[in-house]
Amino acid sequence: MRSLTVGLGNRSYSIYIGSGLLDRLKEFVEPLRATSLLLVTNRTVAPLYAERAERALNGLAPLRRIELPDGEQYKHWESVAQVIDALVAAQADRKSVVVALGGGVIGDLAGFAAAIYMRGIRFVQVPTTLLAQVDSAVGGKTGINHVSGKNLIGAFHQPQVVVSDTDVLKTLPAREVSAGLAEVLKHGLLADAGYFEQVAANTALIRAGEPAAVSEAVAGSCEIKAMVVARDELEAGERALLNLGHTFGHAIEAMTGYSRWLHGEAVGCGLVLAARLSNRIGLLGAIDVQRVTQAVEAAGLPTRVDGLSADAAVASMYGDKKVEARQIRFVLLERIGAAVQRTVPEAALMATLREGGFQ
């Protein structure tokens, strides 16, 4: 087992990464001395891991489970309301704890429900996808989608602990593993060229589920994200760089109803578009654009969007959280391992979208 700390003063917490941690869940949750526990999961994860999690937590406190539909399209108010209703039915109090067992959607909406119930109760992240283990479970961003944009409704609410059992990734479909690799590549691209090269070299091993390669990818990404979050918890500056590829990716997701593309697939394509836009405005060299594109392709992710409207994509981007004073602020690459925020000429943006397959 490896452990990392997200250093946030009295909100600091540990991330535990390793094999067999789901069956050891009790030792990570017991110190919280919860008066009750609500296990929030979805109908895909529940048959695989919910009973194991419940057995591990048995005896700590009264425990209830709620199972939600699986998919980004269910990351909305109705799902949050179901979690709140379950907390009310369980007579949960301010010392109760929500345990999020699932991927990024479950972690985000369960964490958001915890953030707003009784003005905030504690929650624990038990991520079961590669994407959640390397990114969304760390950092305290919780929330849901709005029809006009991704994650427009939410709160910063840090977990008490993150428990990432790498064994559970063995049941992930190949498409989900590829989706998680998008966030792994993102971390290297924005902050650590050496890590990017390591991930690119080990992509085939990660996709095949080789334990050491997977563990290194999870730990490496968590180290980068923990470092950035500790310096800028509320995204006042540096943390915004973690959105590399996401302005494009969120637009793709919104335009396709959060159902055709996985989040990581949209982000992977967004990384390529961000690299091309960086090159178009004179930041990133053509050879590095090719390296980014090849890495995304090797991860099994799309690098083009065919058939979507460029004008509609730009309109969607104006609904993004990163818009300031009606200016879209893109996270772009100066070089591999170094990201910056920039506004860009609309002509450069439109040309990049059309190069990427938008009409």
The residue extents of the domains of the chain are: 2-169, 174-355
List Cβ neighbours of 140 (8 Å cut-off, separation of 6 or more).
11, 111, 156, 157, 158, 159, 229, 233
Alpha-carbon span 359 to 354, nearest angstrom: 6
Catalytic residue among 250, 276, 280, 291: 250
State how far the Cα of 37 lies from the Cα of 41, in Å rounded to an integer. Answer: 13
Average pLDDT across the chain, whole number: 97
Using one digit for the tens of pLDDT, what is the confidence trace for 65-78? Answer: 999 999 999 999 99
Alpha-carbon distance 157 to 139, whole Å?
8
pLDDT tens sequence across 213-256: 999 999 999 999 999 999 999 999 999 999 999 999 999 999 99
Count of CB atoms situated within 10 Å of the CB of 257: 11
- 246 as an active site residue: the answer is yes
Does the structure show a pLDDT above 80 at 322? no
pLDDT of the residue at 123: 98
For 127-152, what is each residue's pLDDT tens digit? Answer: 999 999 999 999 999 999 998 889 99
CA–CA dist 62, 60 (Å, integer): 7
Judge whether 253 counts as a catalytic residue.
no
Residues 6+ apart with CB under 8 A from 77: 144, 153
- Residue-wise pLDDT tens digits, 169-218: 999 999 999 999 999 999 999 999 999 999 999 999 999 999 999 999 99
E runs forming strands in 281-329: 323-324, 327-328
Inform me whether the pLDDT recorded for 26 exceeds 90: yes
Whether 183 sits among the annotated catalytic residues: the reply is yes
Multiple choice CATH, 2-169, 3.40.50.12780, 1.10.357.10, 3.10.180.10, 3.40.50.1970: 3.40.50.1970
51 part of the active site: no
**Exactly one of 141, 157, 276, 280 is catalytic; which is it?**
141
Q: Which candidate in 150, 186, 207, 239 is catalytic? A: 239
DSSP category for residue 117:
G
Find the catalytic residue in 75, 187, 263, 291.
263
pLDDT tens track for 113-124: 999 999 999 999
Active site residue: 67, 72, 176, 183, which one? 183
CB 132 within 8 Å of CB 163: no
Catalytic residue among 243, 276, 280, 291: 243
Q: Say which of 75, 187, 207, 246 is annotated catalytic.
A: 246
Q: Are the CB atoms for 136 and 224 separated by under 8 Å?
A: no
Nearest to 223 by CA among 294, 133, 91: 133
How far apart CA 303 and CA 173 sit, in angstroms, is 20
Confirm whether 76 is a catalytic residue: no
Q: Look up residue 47 and give its DSSP letter.
A: I
State residue 149's pLDDT score: 86
- 326: tokens are 């009606």
Helices (H), 192-304: 193-207, 211-231, 246-255, 263-280, 286-298
- What is the CATH superfamily name and number for domain 174-355? Dehydroquinate synthase-like - alpha domain (1.20.1090.10)
pLDDT exceeds 90 at position 325: no
Whether 321 shows a pLDDT value over 80: the answer reads no
- What single-letter DSSP state applies at residue 128? -
Catalytic residue among 235, 279, 280, 291: 235
Cβ-Cβ contacts under 8 Å for 26 (sequence gap 6 or more): 56, 57, 58, 59, 60
Question: Rounded to two decimals, what is the model's pTM?
Answer: 0.96
For residues 39, 45, 48 and 50, what is the CA-based torsion angle, rounded to 10 degrees? 0
Active site residue 187: no
Task: Check 75, 157, 225, 276 and give the catalytic one.
Answer: 225
| Cα 159 off chain centre by | 14
- Catalytic-residue membership of 186: no
pLDDT of 348 > 90? The answer is yes
d(CA 60, CA 184): 35
235 given a catalytic annotation: yes
